[in-house]
């Protein structure tokens, strides 16, 4: 792909739940031609191709990657396949937008990073929250120094009933439960806004107390495309404290099942000049004329808006592939976040603090 070419030709691997967000955003992007969709489940791939106007359908991603008309792909498959599909795509000369988490293990994340380096192709990690308009606005305040030195962040994403089942609750395919699925987003967004400080140590806890609560009636929740409540060997709840070399710290807790009154999402960062809440809605806190002020930016999406954020993430990926901008979520950040997630699991398993060298 060269930046003189007008349109980017796209293939999407994985046609389950999240692929709709990618496909809808590609369809709406004037610089994209959607060429092909691949899923192990042919019917699902065909239905998506019909809906979004892709000419080709594959059930084997190797065949999609062998298609020379495709410049770039989205990887929207189970977590355990991300490394393998992403590396094969890079080796086939495609740019890649890989859904989060980048990989299940640090070794795999490093293999992906090496493949990016060797191929000279672009890899964007699907840290979609970085692309939300509320985060872009806040980043401008942070970069202008309005929050000063950010020394503390606190992030919570608690579902009382929200184990999506299927592959999500099969550790072999997912790598874990709410920590790797939800924690990845909120840890990343705090770390990104804190200026990506180097990790010093991690202490975590993980619990399997409630199971998946699939017996609960009359309350709906997010489910994988192939929902199956039978297998569940992932944690229900995890929490952690991450210390950084610059002295800053991050506290996080996440759950798929919990005896909580209601679901909760909150992402908050605190600096020595000001603070900010990213979720549940953007607010920037500070002082003016000896008075505490809470500033509410007047923007369309004060909270995370799925369609807006995916549209912006895909738009950024397309423009990065076309050489117009640099990705906001490069592979190195995927490696670092994977390091934090794996260290939390290791700390929980061993009961010890993990010190980074
Ligand atoms: N960014 C977000 O907010 C967000 C939200 C949900 C899921 N995700 C991520 O997206 C990915 C997919 O999640 P989902 O909810 O769409 O799951 P899903 O189960 O609904 O869909 C996954 C699809 O991938 C297909 N698949 C699996 N392995 C394949 C392979 N080797 N080749 C071809 N197809 C294959 C399955 O048949 C299935 O149709 C996961 O990595 C998940 O973490 C991200």
Q: Using one digit for the tens of pLDDT, what is the confidence trace for 25-58?
A: 999 999 999 999 999 999 999 999 999 999 999 9
Residue whose CB lies within 8 A of the most ligand 1 atoms, among 18, 85, 187, 225, for a mutation test: 18
Show me where the domains of the chain are located.
8-127+312-326, 130-304+336-355
Tokens encoding 177: 């439960």
Instruction: Please report where in the chains the tokens 């980043």 appear, as a residue.
Output: 139
Point out which residues pair with 254 in neighbouring strands: 157, 238
Model confidence over 283-310: pLDDT tens digits?
999 999 999 999 999 999 999 999 999 9
Choose which residue among 77, 89, 130, 184 to substitute to test ligand 1 binding: the one with the highest number of ligand atoms within 8 A of its C-beta: 77
CB-based contact 26:34 (threshold 8 Å): yes
Place of tokens 């798929």: 256
Beta bridge partners of 204: 240
Which CATH superfamily hosts domain 130-304+336-355? Dihydrodipicolinate Reductase; domain 2 (3.30.360.10)
How many angstroms separate the alpha carbon of residue 295 from the centre of ligand 1? Answer: 38
Q: Tell me 168's DSSP state.
A: G
Instruction: Tell me how far the alpha carbon of residue 75 lies from the centroid of ligand 1, in angstroms.
Output: 8
Nearest CA to ligand 1 atom 30: 40
Architecture of domain 8-127+312-326: 3-Layer(aba) Sandwich (3.40)
Residues 6+ apart with CB under 8 A from 54: 12, 34, 35, 36, 37, 48
Distance CA 29, CA 25 (A): 6
Q: Enumerate helices (H) and strands (E) in the chain, giving the number of each.
A: 11, 15
Could you identify the atom of ligand 1 that is nearest to the CA of residue 181?
Answer: 43
Of the CA atoms within 13 Å of residue 43, those in its CB half-sphere come to 1
pLDDT at 225: 87
The answer to whether 246 touches 266, Cβ cutoff 8 Å, is no
Neighbouring-strand partners of residue 267: 155, 279
Closest-CA residue, ligand 1 atom 10, reads 76
- pTM to 2 decimals? 0.97
What three-state secondary structure class fits 199?
Answer: strand
Distance 82 CA to ligand 1 centre (A): 10
Query: Which of 58, 74, 78 has most ligand 1 atoms within 8 Å of CB, for mutation?
Result: 78
- Pocket residues for ligand 1 (CB within 6 Å)? 13-19, 38-41, 44, 61, 76-79, 81, 99-100, 126, 128, 166-167, 181, 224-226
Task: Report the C-alpha gap between 52 and 12 in whole angstroms.
Answer: 11
3-state secondary structure of 136: helix
How many Å lie between the centroid of ligand 1 and the Cα of residue 100? Answer: 10
- Which three-class secondary structure state does DSSP give residue 6? coil
d(CA 13, ligand 1 centre) in Å: 9
Predicted local distance difference test score (pLDDT) of residue 5:
56
Helix 306-321 to helix 133-143 angle (10° resolution) is 70
Bridge partners (DSSP) of residue 277 are 268, 283
Q: Which helix (H) or strand (E) holds 95?
A: strand 95-99
- 8 A C-beta contact, residue 190 and residue 155: yes
Separation CA 118–CA 116 (nearest Å): 6
Look up residue 230 and give its DSSP letter. S
Q: Which atom of ligand 1 sits closest to the CA of residue 45?
A: 39
Radius of gyration of the chain (CA): 20
- Ligand 1 geometric centre to CA of 172 (Å): 14
- Please determine whether the domains at 8-127+312-326 and 130-304+336-355 fall in the same fold group of CATH: no
Residues of the chain predicted below pLDDT 50: 1-4
Distance, CA of 303 to chain centre: 16
**256 vs 267: CA distance, rounded Å:** 17
Give the nearest ligand 1 atom to 18 CA.
16
Which of the listed residues 99, 173, 265 should we mutate to test ligand 1's pocket, taking the one with most ligand atoms within 8 A of CB?
99
Instruction: Return d(Cα 138, Cα 142) in angstroms, integer.
Output: 6
Residue corresponding to tokens 């994209």: 32
Buried b / exposed e along 46-60 (16+ C-beta atoms within 10 A):
bebbeebebebbbee
How far apart (Å, rounded) are the C-alpha atoms in residues 148 and 158? 29
Strand order in the sheet with 56-58: 56-58, 32-38, 8-13, 72-75, 95-99, 123-126
């Amino acid at each position: 792909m060269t930046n003189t070419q007008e349109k980017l030709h796209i293939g999407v691997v994985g046609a389950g739940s999240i692929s709709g967000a990618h496909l809808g955003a590609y369809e709406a992007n004037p610089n994209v031609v959607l060429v092909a969709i691949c899923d192990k489940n042919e019917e699902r791939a065909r239905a998506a191709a019909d809906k979004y106007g892709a000419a080709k359908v594959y059930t084997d991603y190797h065949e999609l990657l062998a298609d020379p008309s495709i410049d770039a792909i989205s990887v929207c498959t189970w977590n355990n396949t991300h490394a393998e599909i992403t590396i094969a795509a890079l080796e086939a000369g495609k740019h890649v937008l890989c859904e989060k988490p980048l990989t299940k293990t640090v070794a795999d994340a490093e293999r992906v990073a090496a493949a990016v380096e060797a191929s000279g192709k672009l890899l964007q990690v699907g840290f979609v929250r970085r692309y939300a308009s509320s985060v872009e606005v806040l980043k401008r305040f942070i970069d202008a120094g309005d929050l000063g030195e950010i020394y503390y962040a606190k992030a919570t994403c608690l579902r009382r009933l929200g184990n999506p089942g299927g592959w999500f609750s099969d550790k072999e395919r997912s790598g874990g439960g709410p920590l790797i699925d939800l924690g990845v987003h909120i840890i990343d967004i705090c770390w990104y806004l804190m200026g990506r400080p180097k990790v010093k140590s991690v202490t975590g806890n993980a619990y399997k107390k409630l199971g998946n609560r699939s017996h609960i009636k009359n309350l709906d929740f997010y489910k994988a495309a192939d929902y199956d409540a039978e297998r569940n060997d992932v944690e229900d709840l995890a929490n952690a404290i991450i210390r950084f070399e610059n002295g800053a710290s991050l506290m996080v807790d996440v759950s798929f099942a919990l005896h909580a009154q209601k679901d909760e999402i909150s992402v908050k960062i605190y600096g020595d000049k000001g603070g900010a809440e990213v979720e549940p809605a953007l607010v920037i806190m500070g002082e003016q004329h000896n008075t505490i002020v809470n500033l509410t930016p007047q923007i369309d999406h004060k909270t995370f808006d799925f369609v807006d954020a995916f549209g912006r993430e895909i738009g950024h990926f397309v423009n990065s592939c076309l050489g117009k901008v640099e990705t906001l979520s490069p592979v190195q950040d995927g490696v670092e976040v994977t390091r934090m997630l794996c260290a939390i699991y290791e700390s929980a398993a061993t009961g010890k603090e993990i010190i980074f060298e």
